């Protein structure tokens, strides 16, 4: 068990010696939680059941003849359970006294970032399970982005649609639309991509970058419906507690959340498993 003491390597050097404010490891923006449908379990509830009804068919009628066929609701349902996620940090009294920073505030930011990253990655991992998939050694282009948009609209998928891709894939998409050097565009989508640190909205579908996507030479990006494809079920929000251990002369800081990331309807999403090579510097 890792216990953060006053003599722990590196931490020892931050006590009374370093006056500068502690620097934090930069985190990627984690947009996924804000792009999926949310559900909450209330006290006394242990499971979420999501029903889905089928389609009915209307038929041509003949005057004076009875309607002989009837339609079924065609309801199906599936259940979702949650699981606990959390982490613990142990801070000795001596470290808390001697560290220049407010150690609990510093660690609070770190554990908060860790939980946000975990939730983001759990939702990103669902991309690989989507039934629709564009797989191959192809680059992210405006053409295939529009193609996936058309495929999802034809399902039909509930609108609005969004896309989330790796920054290297976003680079290829930006290069494809920001072609001022070739075409001399100075307004519209080309100018927007050049002047803003964001991916363009193409075919009516906004695109977001997420550096938490695992990438080698390829990566799983995805386009999906915000209101019917992926879900986040929460039973317990991020809860932080401190527990005093007098004999250890230390305090435990524990953060726990109870949730599940899951597919609602994977036909409303499309896995874009495309090239994700490191951009070359000219």
Separation CA 142–CA 147 (nearest Å): 9
Which of these, 232, 223, 227, 217, lies nearest to 199 by C-alpha position? 223
Q: At what angle do helices 167-177 and 142-153 cross, to 10 degrees?
A: 100
Nearest CA to 252 out of 104, 108, 89 is that of 89
Helix (H, G, I), strand (E, B) or coil at 150: helix
The tokens for 259 are 């949730």
pLDDT reported for residue 220: 95
pLDDT, tens only, 125-144: 999 999 898 887 788 888 88
Residue 61 is predicted with a pLDDT of 75
pTM above 0.95?
no
Query: In degrees rounded to 5, what are phi and psi of residue 228?
Result: -160, -5
Q: Residue 182 above 50 pLDDT?
A: no
pLDDT in tens, 216-256: 889 999 999 999 999 999 999 988 888 989 999 998 888 89
* Burial profile 50-78: b = 16 or more Cβ within 10 angstroms, e = fewer: beeeeeeeeeeeeeeeeeeeeeeeeeeee
pLDDT in tens, 13-72: 555 444 445 555 566 778 899 899 999 998 888 888 887 767 777 877 777 787 778 777
What is the band of 5 on the pLDDT scale with cuts at 50, 70, 90? Answer: low
Q: Is 12 helix (H, G, I), strand (E, B) or coil?
A: helix
Q: What is the pLDDT of residue 231?
A: 95
Task: Kindly state the tokens that stand for 59.
Answer: 């038929």
pLDDT for 268? 95
């Amino acid at each position: 068990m890792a216990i953060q003491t006053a003599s722990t390597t590196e931490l020892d050097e931050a006590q009374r010696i370093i006056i500068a404010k502690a620097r934090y490891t930069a985190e990627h923006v984690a947009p996924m939680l804000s792009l999926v449908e949310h559900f909450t379990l209330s006290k006394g509830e242990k499971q979420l059941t999501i029903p889905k009804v089928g389609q009915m068919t209307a038929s041509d009628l003949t005057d004076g003849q009875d309607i002989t066929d009837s339609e079924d609701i065609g309801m199906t349902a599936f259940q979702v359970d949650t699981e606990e996620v959390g982490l613990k940090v142990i801070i000795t009294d001596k470290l808390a006294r001697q560290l220049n920073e407010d150690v609990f505030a510093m660690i609070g930011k770190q554990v908060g970032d860790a939980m946000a990253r975990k939730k983001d990655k759990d939702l990103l991992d669902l991309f690989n399970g989507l039934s629709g998939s564009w797989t191959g050694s192809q680059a992210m282009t405006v053409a295939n982005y529009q193609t996936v948009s058309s495929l999802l609209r034809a399902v039909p998928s509930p609108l609005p649609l969004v896309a989330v891709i790796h920054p290297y894939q976003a680079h290829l998409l930006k290069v494809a639309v920001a072609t001022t050097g070739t075409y001399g565009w100075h307004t519209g989508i080309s100018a927007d991509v050049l002047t803003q640190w964001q991916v363009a909205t193409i075919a009516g579908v906004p695109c977001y970058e997420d550096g938490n996507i695992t990438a080698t030479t390829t990566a799983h990006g995805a386009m999906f419906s915000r209101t019917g494809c992926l879900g986040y079920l929460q039973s317990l929000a991020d809860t932080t507690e401190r527990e005093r251990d007098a004999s250890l002369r230390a305090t435990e800081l524990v953060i726990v959340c109870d949730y599940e990331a899951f597919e609602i309807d994977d036909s409303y999403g499309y896995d874009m498993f495309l090239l994700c090579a490191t951009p070359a510097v000219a």
